């Protein structure tokens, strides 16, 4: 169980998150939605202890993250919002680094690594520096690194970004299977179809404020006959959305 209590983050004068409180139970896929700059990555980076909140607390399986960083980190794997990291390393070197960070040897993770490499079709380039990869290949390399040690909690910041349809399909299946084992998957996305397909629970952020926390099915039940896209835009969008588009492009003529 993950509990977030009154989490606030300021970057200088910028209030990125304002007193966010919510709980994430195991056995769930939990999605964060919100426009650009809403606070999704700030929340996920706080959960993995990459940034320190200005105030508030995070409790992971009964442990206060601020006092138990190492024990909490061992429970979590993380995919950052950009795959442009460690580019001078080959994917194989990066995976070995990641496994070592979880006290696992190359031999411990060998079988799972072979399976993930085959699944994401990364065998041909695994020894080459990641700087030479396409965006999607970098994303696959980072994903394999995160999924290799297989801790209980996966925290994935826009994990489907740049993946080809096959890899996206396979990752979604992996996420569902992980949650079905009673473990936890937390991810952010801008893709509302993906959110509707995958999420048991949702948090919608708007300018650092939590504006919805609950299940997708509850949200759809309250707004019958509307898609998640329509509901989301009503909640998180600009009031005059369509009007601004008309002003730029002109209204369509029959
Ligand atoms: N390192 C930083 N320094 C200053 N401000 C930051 C920093 N990181 C984030 N912010 C600000 O905090 C707010 C929340 O940013 P965050 O990256 O959490 O949003 P997000 O919801 O993940 O957005 P996106 O969908 O564009 O990735 C934004 O206003 C952003 O400008």
CATH superfamily of 2-75+151-249: P-loop containing nucleotide triphosphate hydrolases (3.40.50.300)
Query: Which pLDDT tens digit goes with each residue over 221-246?
Result: 988 888 888 899 989 987 556 676 67
Of residues 134 and 226, more confidence is placed in: 134
pLDDT for 71 beyond 90: yes
pLDDT attached to residue 241: 60
Residue 57 has pLDDT above 90, yes or no: yes
Distance 207 CA to ligand 1 centre (A): 10
Report CA-CA distances (Å) from 45 to 31, 73, 155, 199, 221: 15, 12, 9, 20, 32
- What residue owns the CA closest to ligand 1's atom 26? 36
CATH 3.40.50.300, the chain: domain bounds: 2-75+151-249
- Both structure tokens of 10: 């300021």
pLDDT at 254 over 90: no
Residue with the smallest CA separation from ligand 1 atom 28 is 37
Query: What's the 3-state SS for the chain?
Result: CEEEEEEEEEECCEEEEEEEEEEECCCCEEEEEECCCCCHHHHHHHHCCCCCCCEEEEEECCEECCCCHHHHHCCEEEECCCCCCCCCCEHHHHHHHHHHHCCCCCCCCHHHHHHHHHHCCCHHHCCCEHHHCCHHHHHHHHHHHHHCCCCCEEEEECCCCCCCHHHHHHHHHHHHHHHHCCCEEEEECCCHHHHHHHCCEEEEEECCEEEEEEEHHHHHHHCCCCCHHHHHHHHHCCCCHHHHHHHHHCCCCC
Q: Distance between CA 234 and CA 129 in Å, rounded? A: 44
Q: Does position 26 have pLDDT exceeding 80, yes or no?
A: yes
169 in contact with ligand 1, CB cutoff 6 A: no
If one residue of 7, 13, 17, 38 were mutated to test the ligand 1 pocket, choosing by the most ligand atoms within 8 A of its CB, it would be: 38
Q: What is the predicted pLDDT for the residue at 41?
A: 97
pLDDT (tens digit per residue) in 72-98:
999 999 999 998 889 999 999 999 998
Answer whether residue 50 shows pLDDT above 70: yes
- Give 203 or 103, the one with higher predicted confidence: 203
Quick check: CB of 161 below 6 Å from ligand 1?
no
Q: What is the mean pLDDT of residues 114-121?
A: 95
Distance (Å) of CA 64 to CA 7, 9, 58, 185: 13, 17, 6, 20
Where residue 27 falls among pLDDT bands split at 50, 70, 90? very high
40 lines ligand 1 (CB under 6 A): yes
Bridge partners of 76, per DSSP, are 153
- Residue 75: which residues within 8 A CB-CB, separation 6 or more? 60, 61, 151, 152, 153
Residues 33, 53: Cα–Cα separation, whole Å: 20
Asked whether residue 194 carries a pLDDT value surpassing 70, the answer given is yes
**Ligand 1 atom closest to Cα of residue 45:** 18
Tell me the percentage of the chain whose pLDDT exceeds 90: 78
Any atom of ligand 1 within 6 Å of the Cβ of 204: no
Closest residue by Cα to residue 188 from 180, 199, 173, 174 = 199
Whether 189 contacts 195, CB under 8 Å: yes
Which band of pLDDT confidence, cut at 50, 70 and 90, is reported for residue 253?
Answer: low
Q: Is the Cβ atom of 44 under 6 angstroms away from ligand 1?
A: no
Query: Residue 39: CB within 6 Å of ligand 1?
Result: yes
Distance (Å, whole) CA 195 – CA 212 = 14
The answer to whether the CB of 74 is under 6 A from ligand 1 is no
If one residue of 9, 15, 40 were mutated to test the ligand 1 pocket, choosing by the most ligand atoms within 8 A of its CB, it would be 40
**Residue the block writes with tokens 């489907």:** 160
Q: How far apart are CA 16 and CA 206, in angstroms?
A: 10
Mean pLDDT score of the chain? 92
Going by pLDDT thresholds of 50, 70 and 90, the confidence category of residue 52 is: very high
Residue 34 near ligand 1, beta carbon < 6 Å: yes
- Averaged pLDDT for residues 37-44: 97
Whether 41 is in the pocket of ligand 1, judged by its Cβ within 6 Å, is yes
Q: What is the pLDDT of residue 105?
A: 83
Mean pLDDT of 59-84: 94
Q: Is the pLDDT of residue 47 over 90?
A: yes
- CB of 172 closer than 8 Å to CB of 197: yes
């Amino acid at each position: 169980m993950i509990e977030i209590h009154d989490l606030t983050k300021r970057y200088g004068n910028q209030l990125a998150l304002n007193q966010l409180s919510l709980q994430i139970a195991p056995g769930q896929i939990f999605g964060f939605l919100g426009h650009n700059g809403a606070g999704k990555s700030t929340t996920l980076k706080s959960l993995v202890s990459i940034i320190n909140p200005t105030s508030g607390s995070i409790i992971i399986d009964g442990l206060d993250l601020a006092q138990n960083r190492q024990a909490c980190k061992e429970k979590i794997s993380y995919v950052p919002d950009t795959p442009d990291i460690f580019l001078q390393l080959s994917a194989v070197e990066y995976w070995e680094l990641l496994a070592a960070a979880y006290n696992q040897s190359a031999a411990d993770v060998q079988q799972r690594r072979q399976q993930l490499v085959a699944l994401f079709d990364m065998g041909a380039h695994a020894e080459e520096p990641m700087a030479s990869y396409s965006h999607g290949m970098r994303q696959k390399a980072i994903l394999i690194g995160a999924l290799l040690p297989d801790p209980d909690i996966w925290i994935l910041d826009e994990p489907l970004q740049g993946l080809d349809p096959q890899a996206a399909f396979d990752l979604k299946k992996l996420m569902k299977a992980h949650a079905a084992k009673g473990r936890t998957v937390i991810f952010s996305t801008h893709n509302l179809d993906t959110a509707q397909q995958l999420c048991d629970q949702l948090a919608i952020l708007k300018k650092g404020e939590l504006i919805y926390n609950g299940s997708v099915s509850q949200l759809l039940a309250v707004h019958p006959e509307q898609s998640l896209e329509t509901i989301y835009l009503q909640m998180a969008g600009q009031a005059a959305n369509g009007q601004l588009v008309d002003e730029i492009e002109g209204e369509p003529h029959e």
